Structure 1
Amino acid sequence: MTSSGPTPNCGVRTSVTDPRIPTVDLRLWLSGDPAARAGIAESVDRALRSAGFLLVTGHGVDPGLRGEIRDAARDFFRLPERQKEPYAVKVGGRGWLGPGAEANAYAEGIETPPDLKESLSFAAEDPTGDPAVDAEWFLPNTWPAEAPHLRDLVEAYLARMRTLCDQLLELLGVALGEPEDFFTRHTTHPTWGFNINWYPGRDRVGDPRPGQFRIGPHTDFGTVTVLDRQEGKGGLQVFTDPEDGGAGWEDAPYDPEAFTINIGDLMARWTGDRWRSGRHRVLPPPADVPAEELISLVYFYECDPGTAVRGIDSHTYLRAQLDAITAD
């Protein structure tokens, strides 16, 4: 494509729901057009300074693959609990996180009932050769025999996520005014996590307790999160600070073609708090749609073990935060 000059919103459109959260067409970022890249980088910087969220289209990830993952995971989640129990793990493990396992608001010091969700959790497993690091961060994943097609589907998806996240981190490096490899030089052998989150309806979990959410208010802990979500009444909300002109809690903008991207605490720290870790929550299952069931695919991308982020060890911090959200 050609351009007659810099255009601040070239390759970017703002959401009618929340103009603080733009939609970025990644194809225009990857095209190499200087004007488009400059406009995208400026819009990304502006968004991450306020809400900490973006929508990204043009990512090239097949929607059919995402649908097949949901179908395979749903079959597992709907099994009787006794069939899922052999795969049960604690937060940070590889396997099934059952009802009551997490309370994400604990990370903010808020005492809430456990989150109303179940998850299948996977994480990095290719060993580094360092026994201590591998024993904590690079263990084999567990694949339920009751979902025989899930592994191939998820592994195909994870390969796309790794590529996408490095592309996003290159964009973020430029948006920060740094070289394109400012972040990716620290992702040669990164840790990552992938959760398939199942949010059953009230017809399965009953009425929420006071202060109970599908996921309580929190910020993510790492660098970049890539969320593929479904629209629903009991869906994602984001928080923008009213003191800075924000709206408080409001429904996140939704585009079925887009991934929802947010940055986490480590990324905010990495930028000297220029950027804001995106605070969010997932609403309780709605009373007026008691059978509403949603499944989200959530990929958490981190950095290489041992990476120091402005004086703190990145993975010591990550482990402490995972421990913090473990429900009692």
Structure 2
Amino acid sequence: MTPLDIPLIDIAVWRNGDAASRAALAGRLDSALRNSGFLLVAGHGIDAALRNDIRTAARKFFTLPLATKTRYATTVGGRGWLATGVEANSYYGQAPDASKPDLKESLTIGREHHTGNPELDTAWFAPNVWPTEVPELRPLVETYTAAVRALFLELLEMCAVALELPPDHFTALAADAPDSLNINRYPPIGVTGRPAAGQYRVGPHTDWGTLTILDRQPGYGGLQVQAPDGSWSDAPFVPDAFTVNIADLLARWTGDRWRSTRHRVLPPPESAPDEDLISLIAFFEIDMDIPIEPFAPPIGGGAHYPPVTAHTYLTERAKAASVA
């Protein structure tokens, strides 16, 4: 098994440090993203009580009758409720295995924004679907997503400095970018039934876009990350720290200098039959109409990909992950 470099970095150093300490932190980020594509972020200042309150409100929604939740149903990549059985992440480039969908249900909320481009606004900024049965959820989520988006922009600045680019290189291209919060519920085995062989709460996959910021609960059926040699290891967990990973488009942009790493969420364990976890997964993007082409070496890692927009790439990935 190859050890993975998933460091804990303190974002407060980025906010308050001098040029030398900021450069050192960016260098540490660069090293981790070359090795694992993952890091942990502490010192962010986003209240743990806020995240707990979101989980409490989300549980009220997830325990509503099926007929009620169905009123808020959406498709993969949309805004609203995704039932267990409609999404499968454990493949790419082949048809999804409908017999092994992800053992989760999700509520997705996106950024409320308008670019002025009707095609992009229809595709990426559809109205949110707020469950009227849980009115407290909306203000909690809006407060949280604003805070996490600010953290995302700081991390984008750090990424630019790590690549020896101007600090605003990426943030200048994210003003009209969508983001989404997936509130994932991983039900206990008594709800899901015994998993099929090779079935997961979330199957092995890479994330699709730019950066993912995850607030997770530890558990037996938890997050694992794949090393370059194909081995799997449990992702480290530090209370109050976010788990952050880069996704396909940012890795592509760097010519694979940085890794978009496969990861998975283990199935519900028989040894902990009551384990019922909720993750808050914030997916952040670059402007949908920006052509993304790999940086040339020495900034880029040398891998070549044809130019692609986030709009095209993410649309294809969402279609590919849909079982329905």
TM-score normalised by the shorter chain: which range applies?
over 0.9
Deviations along 1:177-226, one digit per CA (max 9) or x if unpaired, are: 21111211101111111100000010111100111100000000000000
Distance 1:318 1:209 in 2: 28
Structure 2 unaligned segments of length 5 or more: list them. Answer: 294-306
Distance 1:18 1:293 in 2: 29
Equivalent residue number for residue 320 of structure 2: 324
Deviations along 1:252-293, one digit per CA (max 9) or x if unpaired, are: 000112000000000001111100002100000011001100
Report the Cα offset of residue 35 of structure 1.
2.7
Structure 1 unaligned segments of length 5 or more: list them. Answer: 1-16
TM-score under structure 2 normalisation? 0.92
Equivalent residue number for residue 130 of structure 1: 117
| 1:263-278 equivalences in 2 (<5 Å) | 263-278=246-261
Distance 1:19 1:116 in 2: 26
- What amino acid does structure 2 have at the position aligned with 1:101? V
Distance 2:9 2:95 in 1: 34
The alignment partner of 2:92 has SS state of helix
Equivalent residue number for residue 223 of structure 2: 236
Distance 1:90 1:149 in 2: 24
Decide whether aligned partners of structure 1 residues 61 and 289 sit closer, same or farther in structure 2, where only a CA change above 3 A counts. Answer: same
Report the Cα offset of residue 18 of structure 1.
5.6
Distance 2:30 2:8 in 1: 13
- What amino acid does structure 2 have at the position aligned with 1:82? A
| 2:53 maps to 1:57 | no
| 2:283 maps to 1:300 | yes
CA RMSD of aligned residues (A): 1.5
| 1:31-110 equivalences in 2 (<5 Å) | 31-107=16-92, 109=94
Equivalent residue number for residue 142 of structure 1: 129
Equivalent residue number for residue 296 of structure 2: none
Structure 1 stretches of 4+ moved >2 Å: 106-112
Decide whether aligned partners of structure 1 residues 110 and 135 sit closer, same or farther in structure 2, where only a CA change above 3 A counts. Answer: closer
- What amino acid does structure 1 have at the position aligned with 2:63? R
Is the 1:116–1:199 contact (alpha carbons within 8 Å) kept by the matching residues of 2?
yes
| 2:273 maps to 1:290 | yes
- What amino acid does structure 2 have at the position aligned with 1:115? D
The alignment partner of 2:14 has SS state of helix
Distance 1:31 1:125 in 2: 30
Identity, in percent, stands at: 52
Equivalent residue number for residue 5 of structure 1: none
- What amino acid does structure 1 have at the position aligned with 2:312? T
Distance 2:67 2:115 in 1: 35
Distance 2:308 2:165 in 1: 21
| 2:154 maps to 1:167 | yes
